Amino acid sequence: MKQSLYERIGGEPALMAAVDLFYSKVLDNELTRPFFETLDMESQIRKQIAFMAWALGGPDSYKGRDLRGAHADLVKNKGQLDPGVHLLPPEVDQEIASLKLKALGLSIDTLTAEQIEYMTSWETGT
């Protein structure tokens, strides 16, 4: 039987680590912090872990609101952030990429100086 993505990333311990990291970055960021300041963060973290477990094929214990309802205030207050693509902090982006690669059973080797030269040079590479 094929493992769920939830199982492949390491189950609840991996989700707990990812969600804790995510919210630590969200709360450290001056743009995103105001959206979470009034929340009971322990409860929010528990709900997020349950939601992510369900979404990734793990236990179905999520009993919270649907995404539209849960994010209605963000839509209502959308003027607080400029429209467009917003980059994740590099640490969060790297952690998400790491979890995805781990779930796929892949790893990244370090590039050699020759490979970096090839990839960044107009003369020898792209």
pLDDT at residue number 45:
92
3-state secondary structure of 119: helix
Percent of the chain with pLDDT over 70: 84
CATH fit for domain 5-120, picks 1.10.150.20, 3.40.50.10320, 3.20.20.210, 1.10.490.10? 1.10.490.10
Kindly state the average pLDDT of the residues 102-123.
Answer: 75
What would the pLDDT profile of 20-48 be if each residue is shown by its tens digit? 988 998 898 887 888 888 889 999 999 89
Average pLDDT value for residue range 45-55? 89
For the chain, what are the domain ranges? Answer: 5-120
| pTM reported for the whole predicted model | 0.59
d(CA 63, CA 58): 14
Would you say residue 126 has pLDDT above 50?
A: no
Q: How far apart are CA 29 and CA 23, in angstroms?
A: 10
Tokens of 53: 């477990």
| pLDDT at position 119 over 50 | yes
